[in-house]
């Protein structure tokens, strides 16, 4: 089974991956507290109704990393840099404000706020293969090459860093970390607390935009698929304990891979649908997927999108079960 190392993992470039060598604080808030005067939070305004207003009400100072954007709403919903040195209890205020949102990345930068601000602004864009920018997960089969395209790099989203950092090389690590000494974030789907610690052996970061190569995009896709399967495993442990409680993580992972293949076979496409189909598969002993059975026939032949039809099917199954209970 694939999966993430448990919480408190130091992330290293792909060519130099290895275990943590020392014990670390338990959580992200503790890392922020440990950074002290060198600490900064980058908060995702897109997960708030009005982050600038929320920061003011919390007594926190923030600067937009999209400053002077032509669209004020995009600036408001973009990333904001918040220095932890402006108030002794700034970390506590920040994490009270953020709550359970995946909305904060913590940086330690002794070079000071102006240096980190300039650096972070330079990370807002990244170059990736054109096929990836168009939404593809693999290169075109004809092997045709196209120029890279520039897209937004959501370095303020811990879920993006959780997926991306382990596939990058030392030069790319150096480009992302820049003048900072450490970047810390909580990547829920990738094992919890992650730390990226600057290494003097990394090559000197080059100028220009960060570029993510084609083979790294493919690895990134694999990590995202694995994270989706991990979420579905957790969903099954919560909603189908009759099945999942008797399965090891490895066994349940293989079940989810099989359920995913069955879901694709009947035309389902979204993770939400994969999870619901996995639940039906587990609870029915996979009988729900029998070919030429009513569910399989309905999803594959009746008019409409399979994902929408699955919702209808589940609603009808619930209605039948309730009717049976009233008649019992």
User: With 60 as the cut, is the pLDDT of residue 16 above it?
Assistant: no
Position 87 scores a pLDDT of 76
Higher pLDDT, 98 or 13: 98
Position 8 scores a pLDDT of 60
CB 87 within 8 A of CB 60: yes
Mean pLDDT computed over 12-26: 47
CB 95 within 8 A of CB 41: no
Confirm whether 249 is domain-assigned.
yes
Q: How far apart are CA 124 and CA 65, in angstroms?
A: 8
User: With 60 as the cut, is the pLDDT of residue 3 above it?
Assistant: no
Comparing CA positions, the residue from 104, 203, 212 lying closest to residue 159 is 104
Q: How far apart are CA 78 and CA 69, in angstroms?
A: 10
Rg value, the chain, Cα:
23
Confirm whether 130 is domain-assigned.
no
Task: Say yes or no: 184 and 255 in one domain.
Answer: no
Q: How far apart are CA 310 and CA 149, in angstroms?
A: 37
Position 142 scores a pLDDT of 67
User: With 90 as the cut, is the pLDDT of residue 109 above it?
Assistant: yes
Residues 6+ apart with CB under 8 A from 325: none
Out of 22-31, 48-57, 240-249, 260-269, which region has the weakest mean confidence (pLDDT)? Answer: 22-31
User: With 60 as the cut, is the pLDDT of residue 19 above it?
Assistant: no
Task: Say yes or no: 189 and 66 in one domain.
Answer: yes
Confirm whether 226 is domain-assigned.
no
Position 176 scores a pLDDT of 96
| Cα end-to-end distance, the chain, whole Å | 43
**Is 277 strand, coil or helix?**
helix
pLDDT digits (tens, 9 = 90+) for 283-305: 999 999 999 899 999 999 999 99
Confirm whether 213 is domain-assigned.
no
Confirm whether 1 is domain-assigned.
no
Mean pLDDT computed over 228-241: 94
Q: How far apart are CA 162 and CA 224, in angstroms?
A: 10
Mean pLDDT computed over 234-251: 93
127, β-bridge pairs: 150, 211
Confirm whether 248 is domain-assigned.
yes
How many domains in the chain? 2
Residues 6+ apart with CB under 8 A from 318: none
Confirm whether 136 is domain-assigned.
no
Task: Say yes or no: 187 and 247 in one domain.
Answer: no
The residue behind tokens 């708030």 is 48
pLDDT digits (tens, 9 = 90+) for 126-148: 999 998 888 876 777 766 667 89
Position 206 scores a pLDDT of 77
Comparing CA positions, the residue from 177, 212, 21 lying closest to residue 106 is 177
Position 205 scores a pLDDT of 81
Higher pLDDT, 267 or 10: 267
Mean pLDDT of the chain: 88
User: With 50 as the cut, is the pLDDT of residue 5 above it?
Assistant: no
Task: Say yes or no: 197 and 248 in one domain.
Answer: no
pLDDT digits (tens, 9 = 90+) for 45-98: 999 999 999 999 999 999 999 987 768 888 999 999 999 988 789 999 999 999
Within 10 angstroms of residue 311's Cβ, the number of other Cβ atoms is 13
Mean pLDDT computed over 184-197: 91
CA distances in angstroms from 286 to 104, 260, 275, listed in the order given: 40, 12, 14
Q: How far apart are CA 75 and CA 268, in angstroms?
A: 36
Task: Say yes or no: 90 and 180 in one domain.
Answer: yes
Mean pLDDT computed over 165-186: 95
Task: Say yes or no: 246 and 298 in one domain.
Answer: yes
By residue range, what is the domain housing residue 42? 9-123+152-207
- Token code pair at residue 303: 């008019």
- Token code pair at residue 49: 């109704």
Confirm whether 318 is domain-assigned.
yes
DSSP, res 208: S
Task: Say yes or no: 174 and 298 in one domain.
Answer: no
Task: Say yes or no: 186 and 305 in one domain.
Answer: no
Task: Say yes or no: 181 and 310 in one domain.
Answer: no
Position 1 scores a pLDDT of 39
Out of 2-6, 87-91, 211-215, which region has the weakest mean confidence (pLDDT)? Answer: 2-6
The residue behind tokens 């639940």 is 279
How sure is the predictor about 112, in pLDDT bands with cuts at 50, 70 and 90? very high
Q: How far apart are CA 205 and CA 212, in angstroms?
A: 14
């Amino acid at each position: 089974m694939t999966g993430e190392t448990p919480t408190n993992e130091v992330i290293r470039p792909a060519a130099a991956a290895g275990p943590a060598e020392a014990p670390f604080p338990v959580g992200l808030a503790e890392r922020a507290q440990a950074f002290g005067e060198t600490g900064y939070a980058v908060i995702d305004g897109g997960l708030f109704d009005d982050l600038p207003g929320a920061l003011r009400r919390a007594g926190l100072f923030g600067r937009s990393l999209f400053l002077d954007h032509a669209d004020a709403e995009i600036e408001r919903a973009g990333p904001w840099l918040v220095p932890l040195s402006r108030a002794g209890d700034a970390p506590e205020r920040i994490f009270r404000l953020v709550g359970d949102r995946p909305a904060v990345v913590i940086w330690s930068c002794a070079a000071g706020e102006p240096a980190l601000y300039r650096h972070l602004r330079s990370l807002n864009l990244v170059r990736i293969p054109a096929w990836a920018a168009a939404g593809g997960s693999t290169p075109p089969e004809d092997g045709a090459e196209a120029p890279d395209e520039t897209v937004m790099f959501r370095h303020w989203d811990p879920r993006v860093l959780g997926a991306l950092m382990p596939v990058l090389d030392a030069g790319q690590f150096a480009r992302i970390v820049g003048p900072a000494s450490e970047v810390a974030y909580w990547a829920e789907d990738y094992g919890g607390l992650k730390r990226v610690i600057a290494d003097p052996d990394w090559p000197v970061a080059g100028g220009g935009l960060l570029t993510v190569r084609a083979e790294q995009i493919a690895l990134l896709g694999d990590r995202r698929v694995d994270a989706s399967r991990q979420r579905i495993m957790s969903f099954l442990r919560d909603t189908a304990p009759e099945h999942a409680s008797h399965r090891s993580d490895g066994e349940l992972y293989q079940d989810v891979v099989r359920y995913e293949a069955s879901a694709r076979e009947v035309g389902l496409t979204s993770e939400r649908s994969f999870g619901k189909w996995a639940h039906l598969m587990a609870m029915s002993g996979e009988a729900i997927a029998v070919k030429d059975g009513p569910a399989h026939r309905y999803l594959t032949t009746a008019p409409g999108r399979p994902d929408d039809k699955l919702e209808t099917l589940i609603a009808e199954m619930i209605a039948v079960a309730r009717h049976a209970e009233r008649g019992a």
